[in-house]
Amino acid sequence: MIEFKINDQPVEAQAGWTVLDTARQYGIHIPTLCHHEAVEPSGNCRLCVVELRDGDWSKVVISCMYPVQDGLQVYTDSDRVKNVRRWILEMLLSECPASSEIQRLAQEYGVEQTRFAIHDPEEDCILCGLCVRTCKEVVGVSAISMVGRGVHKVIGTPYMMPSDACVACGSCVTVCPTGAMRRRLDLVRGEPKTRMAHSAV
């Protein structure tokens, strides 16, 4: 049994749990985007950051992958954490301004607008890769993946053509935190008429 504190509240956890697991068990809310219970955490969106304090010293870590330890002092909603989240949301807001989920979260944290350049006002994907992990871990087909590097990174299929591996189950749409997968689904599974007949063109 591992004992530590979240927001000064004593909590008990077991080895192998993460800070986020423990917080959720105790009903302590930590916002997340790329976290889904059905797949392994990947720490992509950074929204679940929490502050770990040790005397005068403190650090900010992502709770979804941080393993529990005895004596941790976790703060889920401290000023420092809120500040980091505002930064993250401001950046997300510039990356995918069209997502209503991001807008809602930004508003919750008092982020009205972003100081960063908006490249595509229609963009709604935060590139958290949850759809990719679900396709691989839950469905088991890996029809979609991250394509490209850096600023060119997108979610897609090989050659951006409807994928033969796709089983058209729609799991990616269901798990997507921003609803971005919805308009991308047809690019993955193909048009209705050819969906069942991907030919080897």
Structure tokens at 79: 């000023």
Instruction: CB nearer to another protein: give 113 or 194.
Output: 194
> How many Cβ atoms are within 10 Å of 100's Cβ, its own excluded?
10
State the minimum distance, in angstroms, from the CB of residue 173 to another protein.
6
- With vertex at residue 9, the alpha carbon angle to CA 27 and CA 14, rounded to the nearest 5 degrees, is 70
State the minimum distance, in angstroms, from the CB of residue 196 to another protein.
5
SS3 label, residue 118 = coil
State the minimum distance, in angstroms, from the CB of residue 116 to another protein.
28
Residues engaged in binding another protein (CB under 8 A): 13-14, 16-18, 21-22, 24-27, 29, 36-38, 134, 138-141, 165-171, 173-176, 179, 182, 185-186, 192-193, 195-201
Residues 58 and 50 sit within 8 Å (Cβ to Cβ): no
Instruction: CB nearer to another protein: give 39 or 127.
Output: 39
Instruction: CB nearer to another protein: give 29 or 152.
Output: 29
State the minimum distance, in angstroms, from the CB of residue 40 to another protein.
10
Instruction: CB nearer to another protein: give 16 or 150.
Output: 16
Beta strands in the chain (DSSP E): 2-6, 9-13, 49-54, 57-62, 73-75, 145-147, 154-156
Only one residue has tokens 């992509």, namely 44
